Amino acid sequence: MMRIEPAAIPIGHSIRSGIAVGGPFVIGSLTGHVLIGMWIGLATLLLAAGEREGTYRLNFRIIAISTPIAACGYLLGFVQNIPLAALIPVMAAVALLAGLIAGFGPEFSVAGMQFLLVASIAIGVDGIDWWTPIWLYLVGGALYAALLAIEMLVEPRRPQRIVLVALLQSLADLATARIADLADPEDRNGSDRTGRARIAATTAHRNAAGRVSEVRVHRMGSAGDWSLDADVVGAADRVQALVLASTDTSELAAVGGHLTDLAGSVGRRQKEPTPPPTVVQTSTSPLCRRVRALDHALGGTHRSVLAPRRGFTFHAIGSEVVFAAVRLSLCFGIAVGAKAYFPFSHWFWVPLTVCLVMKPDFGSVFDRAILRVVGTVIGVAIATGVILLVPKGWEIGVAIGLLSACVPWFMMRSYALQAVAIAPVVILLVDVISPGDSSANDSWQRIGATVVGGLVVIVFGYLIWPHSRRAWVAETFATAMSCIATHLRIAATAVPEDAGAARRRHDELVAARRDAYRALSDLQTRMQRASAEPPPAGTTAMAWIPVATATGRLADAVTVYAGQRLAGTYPPDADRAAVLAERIVGLGSGDGLDVTCDRDSDAAGSVDRGSELNEIDDELSRLRGLLERT
């Protein structure tokens, strides 16, 4: 739960965040309009925290949708003095709505969180003409959009370049890991190198595919420049599969070196493409052919089909969205009731904490609640030190800008670090309008409110809901095993003589492999999320770690077999593959554990020891043993 993830500093995002949040406060202090600067800075802080590592188009859409919705949160300030018995259901209803619209996509998820944050401030601070914050929030949105547009003009393809470099480098790392495992095949602990590298490559592929889906492809740059489109993403996916299937270490070394060079040339914005080594240029192996196809796609000048673009479509609001929205509504209503049971002026920090922890999405709330409290305690200490040591005025604005510049990077590294950066910025901004006589002495109030908000989330948003305390790993594991079995069945079939039928078989094979690795990625994600939670979810997830690793090796073994079939090394063997596929599905559902396992018994469904499917059979037997122990 306390793990700090490695992440590169998003320089543009950090500079934009520091200028957009600290700049208005500094200007307002120097011109005698500090309240105007504060309201604009608060808006830009929320927009900086809501920015995604996506394309410019996605982030402009987030700004366009979230800004007016969030600004409307200040309208709740006009009802702050109604009886508490009426205020609680009103705020619970708007929280339910904010949670439901999160199912419409990331833009509305960000909008829902920002709306509740603004509403929490609006119902807790007296004596404000709330029409002023509304239009100043819109000004903040325009300012942030303008700064984002400046970066887009300076470096229009930065989001695509980042994911392309990560994609190429992940393939190079996969080739290196594959070489290491081939050199020592008996090292079962070390052999997970390929699995880890494959997970990273799958994640990089998903990110690249996401960038492509967000924009239409228009050829940019000179003929020798790089491009990122559906052709590149598809070619990289095929290279990944064949790297897993290759057993030629010298070929893998050449391919890995070339992919590293490609990643470096794209990262350096090098105009001339990096030529592949001789072995890659001349070899007729499937892997080298696919690498040459990737080279061609990267530097191609003809785009016959524009990549699909995700439009303004509404996603279906499923049961998971409704369930998360109901929990958010309950917790937010209880938090608003803090006006009665939290006897301090900063009571509105309780619903504000609930909103930040249960921000309308579908992540785990337990670890976020703990990390939020820890991060806020540190953040409050930082804010208190700034208030005590830094003179009131534009100097506070500089401190706000420096802390805001840390927000994007801290968000990528840890939720606790995110709270460490955001909490003092909010404190220093809202301090101008917060009730109370002594800002520094209010620190204990803020810490207490944060603890209370965290406890509300843990009890009423987590512990009382059995559904939220399940790891749901077994269900995801069954899906992954079913996808792996489908991949194996198709890989073992004969290639049809008819060209059209052969093409359809190939498309089905590629789709099956992608489904298998997506399911594996979902298994890893769900397991990692649950592992930070208390029993039973955390205990269950930790027990599944070796099983998930073995499942990845099984999927890789099927990919190796499919690659050898593509190269013509192995003949079709649909009947024996069908036996193994049934065993895979049986283990996924749990039914296969009821069958006595004997490697030499036909009843157990084992393949002949002379079959090309031996490696898959071996991995399946190891997986079965782990499942029995688990």
Q: What is the pLDDT of residues 397-437, one digit of tens each?
A: 999 999 999 999 988 887 778 888 888 888 888 776 655 44
How much is the pLDDT for 115? 94
For 484-506, write each residue's pLDDT tens digit.
Answer: 999 999 999 988 888 888 889 88
* 3-class DSSP assignment, residue 299: helix
How much is the pLDDT for 378? 87
pLDDT confidence bin for 624, thresholds 50/70/90: confident
Of the listed ranges 21-25, 538-542, 554-558, the least confidently predicted one is: 538-542
pTM comes to: 0.75
pLDDT for 203 beyond 80:
yes
Q: What percent of the chain has pLDDT over 70?
A: 83
pLDDT for 2 beyond 80:
no
Of the listed ranges 97-111, 174-188, 217-231, 467-481, the least confidently predicted one is: 217-231
pLDDT confidence bin for 215, thresholds 50/70/90: low
In angstroms, the CA 191 to CA 585 distance is 24
Work out the mean pLDDT of the chain and round it to a whole number: 81
pLDDT for 284 beyond 70:
yes
Q: Which residues of 422-461 are buried (b: 16+ CB within 10 A; e: fewer)?
A: bbbbbbbbbbbbbeeeebeebbebbbbbbbbbbebbbebb
Closest CA to 136 of 264, 274, 2, 25: 25
CB 279 within 8 A of CB 254: yes
pLDDT confidence bin for 571, thresholds 50/70/90: confident
Of the listed ranges 156-170, 278-292, 338-352, 459-473, the least confidently predicted one is: 459-473
Q: Give the dihedral of Cα atoms 105, 89, 118, 346; nearest 10 deg.
A: -140
- Most confidently predicted of 175-184, 299-308, 313-322, 531-540: 175-184
